[in-house]
Every structure is written in C-alpha cells, then in structure tokens.
Copies of this chain bind each other. A is one copy, B any other.
Amino acid sequence: MKKHPTIYDIAKKADTSTATVSRVLSNSDYPVRSELREKIKKVAKEVNYIPNMIGRQLKTNNSMTIGVIIPSITNPFYSSIVLGIEDIARSRGYHVFLCNSHRSPQLEEEYLKTLFEKQVKGLIVSSISPDKNLLGALVQKDLNIVAFDQTIEGLNSSQIHFDYRKGGYMATEYLIKKGHRKIALISSPLTRPSRISVYKGYLNALENYNIEIDKSLIQIASREYEEFERSYEFRNGIELTRNLLKCSELPTAVFVCNDMTAFGVMNELNKQGINVPEQISVMGFDNIEFSEMITPPLTTVQQPDYEMGKLACNLLLDQLDGKIVENVDIMLQPRIVNRSSVLDLESSLLKN
C-alpha cells in the first residue's frame, strides 16, 4: 500500500514545477509550451497518475456533486427519476450523491447534514419531513434546492410540480366517459398534498358530471407508512379492496391512487374470483414500468418520472452554473395511458 503519485512526483520526474503540471493535467487553458505539455502527460501516464479530487475540491470549493434525497430507490417511480437525474448530471460533468430517506424525518435530516458536510452545492429532494427548518437554514447557506413530488411551502427554492388534481380528475372522467357511474376510490391516507389533490380531482369529476358521491365507495387507508416498510402499498391495496367488497353494491370501476396499490387491488379481486375488467375496471396512477407487464395491462395516468428527473437536474445545474438566477416553478401535466384494465361499458352494452 504505497502512496499514490501526486502532481509533485510528476513535477520531479518531468523536471518542472507543480504549477505547470497542474496547468496541464487539469485541462487549464493556461499557455504551456507544447513540448513540455506532452512530456508531462507522458510521465503522468507512466506513473499511472490519478488526480485526487479531494485536493482540488478543497482548493476550488467546488465538488461538482449534487445531492438527491428520495424515499426509496426500491420504488420504481423514484428509481426512474433518479435515472433521469443521473443521465443529465453525467452529461454535464456532475456526480450524484444519492440518499434514501426511507420516509424517516430523522434519516432525512441526517442525510441533509451529510450532504452539506460533503460540500454539495445543489440538492434535488422529495422531502418527507414536516419540519422544514433545517432545509430552510441550508438554503440560506448558498445551497440551491429543487423540490419535486412533495411541494414545500414557503421555501426559497425551485419546484417541479405535477398536476395531481388534474390527474385525478382526468382518470375519473375517463371512467365516466366509458360509461361508469359507480366509481370507487382506493387511496393511501390523505397525509400529503399530492394525495389530497388526487382525491379532490376525483370528487371534482364526479361533481361535474352530476354523479352523487357514495361514501361507501371511498376507501382511504388509515395507517400511514411505517418507516423502512416495504410493499406497504401493495398490501394496502389488498386490504382496502377487502373492505370495499363488503359494501352491498359493488362498483363497476375502481380508481386507485397509485399503480403499486392497484396491483394489490387487482390481486385481491382476482383472488375473490372477480374478473378485471369484465366485472370491475381498475384505473391506476403513475404509470410505472411494471404497469404494462401485469395481466391485464393497467390503464393509468402517466406521471413523467424520467423526464421529471431530467428536468429537475437541468434546472438545478442551470442555477449552479449561473444560467438561471430566479427560482422557477414548473407544473407537469398528466396524460392517460390507455391499456386493458378498464371496460368500456357503452360499447360492451351495444354488443349485448
């Protein structure tokens, strides 16, 4: 375990100074005699020189690294976002330091501190913490932040929103236009702005089409995520479906707050011998990769996860590079993805 060569070693071997070596090896545009330049490069290659970024960072105070905090990489929605972030970061010479908060406020705070200690200058975050004090304090300290997924009120940062209400509205309207009137809702607890908005969209659509709201058709989970819990949503879907099936009048369609929960719904319906979509239609939300893989392929609302990641990262890097000074707010739009889990009651009635 011998020490790695530094620019000092190279300077000695190439019979020059560390300054010149640095100028050559860090691709500076400082003028250096081309003969000498080549010699230095040659020696560097000979000794298998690998620059020590720690030294450079300390000097330049620029880590070229951004932080990303998400609930869990295990959730395909977030992993797609991270992929988008990474692709852009890489293409622009930045690196990504990824943190899974596991929906734990403590862990989120811990990671926030770590990122800051590691001299990250930018942050893309889906925050779970109700306490925005730390985040706010960091913004003061010249940390650029782009928030997504979960809107953060009163924080001096850029935000990427998604029109959840409209998504909820469009999904419900889609079902209505397919002739459904008894449309159930299955949702995770309404503890976050995004979920509340989807819920509102559902109510708005029913209202707009003069469909009476039947509370027995609305199943909302009471138990929130445990921290670190896995496949919570899937099991939620199963449980809520059981509750739903207990009501006397079965719905003809179910709108589910996200695809993962919808998998649980379809699983349970199937177990109970109820065919999707023949007996009950299922509409999801998110359009994660697996939605098209299940049987029947899930009709759902597209949330542009990968694009969202790219957008967030470009935004952040533009800020870091000084191309943007103002904070920006962007609202991404939903889109219906038409597959096979929803029955068209109109046309199926015609057939009969």
Contacts and interface: CB of A to CB of B under 8 A. Distances in A.
Which of A54, A83, A118 has most chain B Cβ within 10 Å?
A54
A270 B340 CA distance: 13
19 contacts: A1-B142, A51-B117, A53-B119, A55-B58, A72-B83, A74-B76, A74-B83, A83-B100, A95-B114, A95-B118, A96-B98, A97-B97, A98-B98, A234-B292, A266-B295, A267-B295, A270-B295, A290-B290, A290-B293
A63 B53 CA distance: 11
A225 interface: no
A234 B100 contact: no
A202 to B, nearest CB: 24
A321 interface: no
A215 interface: no
A237 to B, nearest CB: 9
Given A48-B137, A98-B98, 11 more contacts: A52-B119, A53-B119, A54-B119, A74-B76, A74-B83, A230-B289, A231-B289, A263-B290, A263-B293, A264-B293, A293-B294
Contacts of A55: 58
**Assembly of this chain: how many copies?**
2
Contact of A117 (B50, B80, B230): B50
Nearest to A72: B83
A175 interface: no
Interface string A34-78: 000000000000001011111101100001000000001110100
A239 to B, nearest CB: 14
A286 interface: no
A79 interface: yes
A106 to B, nearest CB: 12
Interface in A76-96: 76, 79-80, 82-83, 86, 95-96
Nearest to A138: B50
A116 interface: yes
Contacts of A223: none
A289 B289 CA distance: 14
Interface residues of A, number: 50
B54 A63 contact: yes
A4 B98 contact: no
Contact of A80 (B74, B98, B263): B74
A131 to B, nearest CB: 16
A23 interface: no
- 4 smallest A-B Cβ distances: which pairs? A1-B142, A263-B293, A53-B117, A270-B295
A53 B113 CA distance: 11
A141 interface: yes
A38 B100 CA distance: 33
A323 to B, nearest CB: 17
A310 to B, nearest CB: 14
A53 B118 contact: yes
Contact of A267 (B52, B73, B117, B293): B293
Contacts of A231: 289, 293
Nearest to A118: B53
A52 B96 CA distance: 18
